Structure 1
Amino acid sequence: MTTILVTGATGQLGRLAIDSLLARGVAAGDVVALVRDAGRASDLAERGVTVRTGSFDDAASLDAALAGVDRLLFVSGSEVGRRVQQHQNVVDAAVRAGVELVAYTSIVRADTSSLGLAGEHRATEEALAASGLPTVLLRNSWYVENYTSQLPVQLEHGAVLGAAGEGRVSAATRADFAEAAAVVVTEDGHAGQVYELGGDQAFTLAEYAAELSEQSGTPVAYRDLTVADYAAALVGAGLPEGYAQALASSDDGLKHGGLLVETGDLSRLLGRPTTPLAEAIAAAVS
């Protein structure tokens, strides 16, 4: 019996990872969901998943949550700008708990990337290396949902905004990334591996807009902005300024190949092709 803990279990990726673990035959009682608010995990508890509360800021809560855990699916935190210390707390707790494998969700080429979001991931990878914990790095490219979550606004205005020029992004669905994560924490032989993960077919944002037009029947065009103008548009749409700046600067990185992945690692882990963009957009439109 192997106990697997998933951090951020009420987040979008964490929930899908738990779905994938259960679909792969892991007993619900062997899955531990780490959450900050147990009230948001009542559906997981009803499925038999063990729910433990804890915070990346609270070392004692992490020690309690990781007690008896064999493998850790470490979904990176969402508080950009605070993650270096938060993630260090998780690593330290995993060491104290004697966790036998950590799978960490990082970002494409975190060790060399110039993307603004890469710095905290790089620091976490370094902390994991220094800890001596057996680790597998899941370096994820963008989620398709980064775009399809904005679909109502895109259709309303007939425009996809960005600052990516003709850069290509190897985005894949969250479900594909979550399934790959479930694979590496349920199979042996992945410790020490670094997987650069992305969709099989990279696309430009103009190609995304064209596919959205095709699937929705509504004309949608890509509007390429400067990084500053795109950040301002995101703030105008309600995003916090720091997060808006990070996304806009990531588009500039995308423009120069920073989110392009051509390894085939994701489809190999899945044992199938990644979900096509057309299929992902069709699901979002419906």
Structure 2
Amino acid sequence: MTVSKSIAITGASGQLGRMIVADVLRLAPEAHVIGVVRNPGAARDLSDRGIELRAAHYEDAASVAAAFAGADKVLLISSSEAKQRTRLHRHVIDAAKAVGVELLAYTSILHADANPMALAVEHRETEALIRSSGLPFVFLRNGWYTENHTAGLAAALRRGTILGAAGDGRVSAAARADFAAASAVVLASDADQAGSVYELAGDSAYTLTELAAEIARQSGRPIVYKDLSEADYKAALQADGLPEEFAALYAESDVKAAQGALLDGRQQLSALIGRPTTTMAQSVAAALALVPSIAWRAS
């Protein structure tokens, strides 16, 4: 199932990256795992687990090439810098090609080739760059994290509403840990993954109305979904502290979700990880457990 390889994981100290590192260590304990991070000093917990940390920044192509030295496989976790991703990803792709890696895996977005969301544009461009590089590649087209919806749970409990602009659109979301597990399976596998494109999404889909109902059920508090226009939802996100650029992306993504942009019923994610994906109800329970300062439990 697994081989002894040198695996470089970019963004290893991020939320997704840390999960992937942990899963790779579990699936391929014999592998040499390289954590490519901006600040190794802030990721000493990873080095304590036997991860070799190498400093690099997507902005600095030379540092990325040095970090990839000796790597057989590379996972490019998409940059979080909106409107800069394509340029930054080019540096990583060029570095992987210069080193001659056996496989470049990339965390893309669900249905990247046809997804109408503005968020998909740079993923589509990055995929094109990878294809044109000639490198053996795998595209891990990740759907929506359920955490994208549950991260604002404390605010929702305070105001009694879930805000959005998705209408009755259904979203095939899964937990971040599910997508991390998929990346780890691909990286740890000895199968020939070159050219594989995985459309990764949750086993079941839900609307934001259904999400609100589940939160109400588990918390015992009255929570409803309030559907807003794209402009009003963007303003609400900004009022909650999200920078304008990201607020605009999330609001536009909700509108496109209403049109089915985040819906997928193929269940490739659960097939890849060998278990059902985390349900929305399970994610709500996990999120509620992290809000101890809110007296949400039913009396």
Find 1:160's aligned residue among 156, 159, 162: 162
Q: What per-residue deviation string (whole Å, max 9, x for no partner) do you get for residues 98-146 of structure 1?
A: 1101111000111111100011000000000000111111111110011
Find 1:230's aligned residue among 222, 228, 233: 233
Q: Please say if 1:11 is aligned against 2:14.
A: yes
Which residue is equivalent to 2:272? 269
Which residue is equivalent to 2:114? 112
> 2:29 and 2:7 mapped to 1: Cα distance?
9
**Deviation for aligned residue 1:25:** 3.3
**Deviation for aligned residue 1:189:** 2.6
What pairs with 1:119-134 in structure 2 (closer than 5 Å)? 119-134=121-136
Which residue is equivalent to 1:72? 74
Listed as ranges, the gaps of 5+ residues in structure 1 are none
Letter in 2 for 1:124: T
Q: What per-residue deviation string (whole Å, max 9, x for no partner) do you get for residues 180-216 of structure 1?
A: 0000111113221111110001000011111111111
> 2:41 and 2:209 mapped to 1: Cα distance?
41
Whether contact under 8 Å (2:28, 2:188) holds in the other structure is no
> 2:246 and 2:286 mapped to 1: Cα distance?
27
Find 1:58's aligned residue among 51, 57, 60: 60
Letter in 2 for 1:196: E
Q: What per-residue deviation string (whole Å, max 9, x for no partner) do you get for residues 251-279 of structure 1?
A: 01100000001111101001111111111
Whether contact under 8 Å (2:78, 2:106) holds in the other structure is yes
TM-score by length of 1: 0.98
Which residue is equivalent to 2:292? none
Letter in 2 for 1:227: E
Whether contact under 8 Å (2:170, 2:262) holds in the other structure is yes
Q: Which consecutive segments of 4 or more residues in structure 1 shift more than 4 A?
A: none
User: Secondary structure at 1:223's aligned position in 2?
Assistant: strand
Q: Please say if 1:88 is aligned against 2:90.
A: yes
**Deviation for aligned residue 1:42:** 0.8
Q: What per-residue deviation string (whole Å, max 9, x for no partner) do you get for residues 137-175 of structure 1?
A: 111111001111111111111111000000000110000
Listed as ranges, the gaps of 5+ residues in structure 2 are 290-299
**Deviation for aligned residue 1:26:** 2.6
What pairs with 1:251-270 in structure 2 (closer than 5 Å)? 251-270=254-273
Find 1:135's aligned residue among 134, 137, 141: 137
Q: Please say if 1:285 is aligned against 2:288.
A: yes
Which residue is equivalent to 2:153? 151
Which residue is equivalent to 1:169? 171
Letter in 2 for 1:53: A
Q: What per-residue deviation string (whole Å, max 9, x for no partner) do you get for residues 77-101 of structure 1?
A: 0001101110000000000011101
User: Secondary structure at 2:50's aligned position in 1?
Assistant: coil
Which residue is equivalent to 1:103? 105
State the identity %. Answer: 51
User: Secondary structure at 2:34's aligned position in 1?
Assistant: strand
Q: Please say if 1:198 is aligned against 2:201.
A: yes
Which residue is equivalent to 2:219? 216
Which residue is equivalent to 2:243? 240
User: Secondary structure at 2:35's aligned position in 1?
Assistant: strand
Whether contact under 8 Å (2:172, 2:201) holds in the other structure is yes
Which residue is equivalent to 2:293? none
| Root mean square deviation of aligned Cα | 0.9
